[in-house]
Structure 1
Amino acid sequence: MNPANLDTILIVGHGSREDSGNQEIREFTEQWRARQPGWRIELCFIEFAPPELNAALLSAGRSSRRVLVVPLILNAAGHVKMEIPEAIEHARIACPQTEYLLAPHLTACDPVLAILKRRLRKAMNVLDMPDPTTTGVVLLGRGSSDRGANGEMAKMARWLLEEGDHELVDLAFTGITWPRLEKVVQRHVLLGMRQIVVLPYYLYTGTLMQRIHRQVEHLRVQYPQIRFACSEHFGFENEIFELMDQRVQDLRAGVPDSRLPCDGCSYREIAHDLGHGHSHAHTHDHAPHDHAHDDGHAHAHDGHDHAHPHAHSESHPA
């Protein structure tokens, strides 16, 4: 039997209080199954919707030789760096006969940039005066207390600037961090922009996408002299399916991943607390720091310099 037939591919979605967003992820799962009929693909959510992450990991582990965990998430904040690895470590203890492999999140990458560029071109086509020199662009994301997650969005904004003709491409967030959309739009108006394109950096709909569209409507009233265009979330773009395909292929091929920075040893210490080793060897020197994740958990790290090689049979996205 092909070893791949013994795999369960477990999509991990964030989950939304607005079920229309969860339903879109369910539809994505159905479409991915149709594209990959030979794969056993299941879905779970971190919060707000069933099936829940921990239960889904255990269910997959009891029926599979190997579970490939693939986050359908754009940026790596507390959920990706902390909650998913922690849940996997618990599942490894409960299902020691099963191998669990974790893929990286979708990340800031060229396929996502291609989606943004296509959305920007479409938005420009609906404007009355599609002049990029007088059209500001605002990349609008969720916002995080994790600087790495915000930095990935900043990278995408910079790439969008460098690969286009727009002289002003800015970053804004719907919550947690700054600047907010209203402040960035105010700046664009003061700098003489005649049109403004808002590009939501979201995979699926939900309460925040609904809020974004309300905000843009309010801005149209506040700045009647400015022409606004607002694109939709990414949804079912071909690049997202191809990225998910690549994540699975990389896990099966044992391709190492270095996209999660070694910037939070608590992520690694989970395994130690549970009596597990894991497959990374690293030496790093951290200054003392505290950081809070989006889930409201605060994690404190003392300054330390340590090297600890670990032998583990499973691949780890370190």
Structure 2
Amino acid sequence: MIQPQDTILLVGHGSRESSGNEEILEFVARWRARQPGWRIEVCFIEFAPPSLADGLLAAGRDGGRVFVVPLILNAAGHVKMEIPEAIEQARIACPRAEFLLAPHLTACDPILAVLRRRLRHAMNGLDMPDPTTTGVVLLGRGSSDRGANGDMAKMARWLLEETDHELVDLAFTGITWPRLEKVVQRQVLLGMTQIVVLPYYLYTGTLMQRIHRQVEHLRLQYPQLRFACTTHFGFENEIFELVEQRVHDLATGVPDSRLPCDGCTYREIAHDHGHGHSHEHTHGAAHEHTHAVHFHPEVKAA
């Protein structure tokens, strides 16, 4: 049960493009309208205020429960290390508050439902061509974390299983491979006559803008092909329902194995290899690296 003194802190990634941050603020405004009895606040991991550290301190200043909900699709360093370490510091600074961390959105059936709906709309826009000659490219951000990339690979496989398309490939906008152009080259060689690009992004930003430019370049490069490119999907009803479910699970003590003990297992391994760190991102500021003592969720610092 959500209590009046509880605070829900939504954690967005943040973008260099202000329109992306504005969309997250718009998401929060719509979420408050959906849940008028909840105290919902927002912070950003990087590129926009308030910072993660400031958001946690403000949420925990008066005590009570703080439900930290990452508005992030895949779990990489931000989810596995930076958010948990920032929570540890907040527990020390706000000993009367109880900080509870929810899992990120994850690769799940609600996200699959969004992708399938976007794919159907794209196929309608192409006048319903044969799906066996229409390639699909799920295009994500890319990460140095193999688990995050693996979640995207799982979503691509689920799309293949749940549709009549014989070719559903995975591509990334950065960090790892393959890139969109290479995947399109491969699909052309395999005889695709239409290609649907499905960006795996919640909100707009510099990368979404780059994706649409890349698709325009590909239209010029392959005039014999028809392309459809969908948009980001952070305002779909499934996203609101997912974050609401995260809050209800935290409030009722439902256990979740996707990020055990605030990610401490992952971070202990990282610390053993000399990679433990905590980032506080601010405009124009360097990253501050600090090592923190780990506290389990049920223990608050005195």
TM exceeding 0.5: yes
Tell me by how many angstroms 1:64 deviates. Answer: 3.8
Cα distance in 1 for partners of 2:66, 2:268 equals 20
User: Is 1:267 aligned to 2:267, yes or no?
Assistant: yes
Q: How many residues align?
A: 286
Structure 2, gaps ≥5 residues long = 280-286, 288-294
In 1, Cα distance between equivalents of 2:267 and 2:91? 16
Letter aligned with residue 34 of structure 1: A
- Indicate the residue corresponding to 2:43 in structure 1: 44
Identity, in percent, stands at: 78
Q: Deviations over 1:102-152 (max 9, x none)?
A: 000000000000000000000001114511010000000000000000000
Distance 1:289 1:194, change over 3 A: farther
Match of 1:63 in 2: 62
One-letter amino acid of the counterpart of residue 107, structure 1: T
Counterpart amino acid of 2:177?
A: W
CA distance in 2, matches of 1:163, 1:28: 29
The aligned residue for residue 211 of structure 1 is 210
Cα separation, partners in 2 of 1:129 and 1:9, compared to 1, 3 Å:
closer
Whether 1:30 and 2:43 are equivalent positions in the alignment is no
Q: Which residue of 2 aligns with 1:144?
A: 143
Question: Which residue is equivalent to 1:9?
Answer: 8
Deviating 4+ runs (over 3 angstroms): 261-266, 288-293
1:190 aligns with 2:189: yes
Q: Is the 8 A contact 2:133 2:192 kept in 1?
A: yes
Residue in structure 2 matched with residue 234 of structure 1 by the alignment? 233
Aligned letter for 2:236?
Answer: E
Is the Cα contact below 8 Å between 1:12 and 1:45 reproduced in 2? yes
Give the SS at the match of 1:101.
strand
Change (3 A) 1:143 1:292: farther
Cα distance change of structure 1 residues 123 and 90 upon mapping to structure 2, 3 Å threshold: same
- The Cα offsets for residues 230-272 of structure 1, whole Å up to 9 and x where unpaired, read as 00001210000000100000000111111137997462489xx
Counterpart of 1:254, as a letter, is G
Counterpart code for 1:267:
R
Mapping of residues 42-121 of structure 1, within 5 Å: 42-121=41-120
The structural deviation recorded for 1:63 is 2.5
Q: Secondary structure at the match of 2:81?
A: helix
Contact 1:6 1:65 in 2 (8 A): yes
Classify the secondary structure of the residue corresponding to 1:199: strand
Q: Give the counterpart letter for 1:220 in structure 2.
A: R
Q: Deviation string for 1:49-71 (max 9, x for gaps)?
A: 00111011001101241100000
Task: Give the distance between the partners of 1:238 and 1:311, measured in 2 at CA.
Answer: 33
**Within 1, Cα distance between the matches of 2:130 and 2:173?**
27
8 Å Cα contact 1:174-1:180 kept in structure 2: yes
Instruction: Tell me the TM-score normalised to structure 1 length.
Output: 0.84
Question: Which structure's relative contact order is higher, taking Cα pairs within 8 Å and 6+ residues apart?
Answer: 2
TM-score (norm 2): 0.89
| Corresponding residue for residue 179 of structure 2 | 180
